[in-house]
């Protein structure tokens, strides 16, 4: 997985527009695939791990504090019976937005003012996703904070380890 800015140094003679044209042609010829907003994957590599959205989210908001939370974290822990299909929810110090990643799904960034230092005891680094992940308690609190539906959450398992 790489971004437009990652390949700029490989083609210093090309303008940004020229580089976009080059990558567009590579997509059209099936060499690479565009995930979203200047994020691409090379099709010659097996990238079927199912973590493309998480990796793209980490690349898109590399300069902000982000962590997997809300429905995504609770579903992965088995506390929500319904699995969100093709959508992940990320708490971010950046602005709120939903990024459409075509066939890969959508990334929902929800703004938070929380500082990592204040919640780090409720976070752990998920190496598969390459992102911080909320534990069940923090994910549930975030769900309450942003006024999301709590009806599907099995509250009995909130204190279970992730």
- The per-residue pLDDT for 22 is 93
**What are the structure tokens assigned to 88, written together?**
């992940």
Q: What is the pTM of this model?
A: 0.87
pLDDT in tens, the chain (162 residues): 898 888 998 999 999 999 999 999 999 999 999 999 889 998 877 776 789 999 999 999 999 999 999 999 988 888 887 767 789 999 999 999 999 998 899 999 999 999 999 999 999 999 999 999 999 999 999 999 998 877 777 777 677 666
Helix (H, G, I), strand (E, B) or coil at 152: coil
CA–CA–CA angle 133, 126, 102 (5° rounding) = 80
Q: How many helices (H) and strands (E) does the chain have?
A: 6, 9
CA–CA–CA angle 92, 86, 1 (5° rounding) = 70
- The per-residue pLDDT for 155 is 75
Cα(135)–Cα(150) distance, integer angstroms = 16
């Amino acid at each position: 997985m790489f971004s437009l800015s990652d390949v700029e140094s490989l083609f210093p003679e090309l303008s940004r527009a020229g580089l976009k044209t080059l990558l567009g042609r590579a997509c059209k010829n099936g060499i690479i695939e565009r995930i979203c907003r200047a994020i691409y994957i090379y099709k010659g590599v097996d990238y079927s791990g199912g973590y493309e959205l998480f990796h793209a989210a980490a690349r898109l908001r590399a300069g902000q504090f982000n962590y997997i939370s809300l429905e995504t974290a609770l579903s992965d822990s088995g506390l929500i019976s319904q699995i969100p299909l093709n959508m992940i929810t990320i708490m971010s110090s950046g602005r709120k937005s939903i990024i459409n990643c075509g066939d890969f799904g959508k990334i929902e960034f929800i703004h938070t003012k929380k500082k990592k230092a204040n919640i780090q005891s409720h976070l752990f680094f998920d190496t598969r996703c390459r992102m911080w992940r909320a534990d069940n308690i923090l994910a549930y609190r975030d769900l309450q904070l942003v006024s999301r539906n709590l009806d599907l959450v099995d509250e009995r398992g909130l204190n279970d380890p992730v």
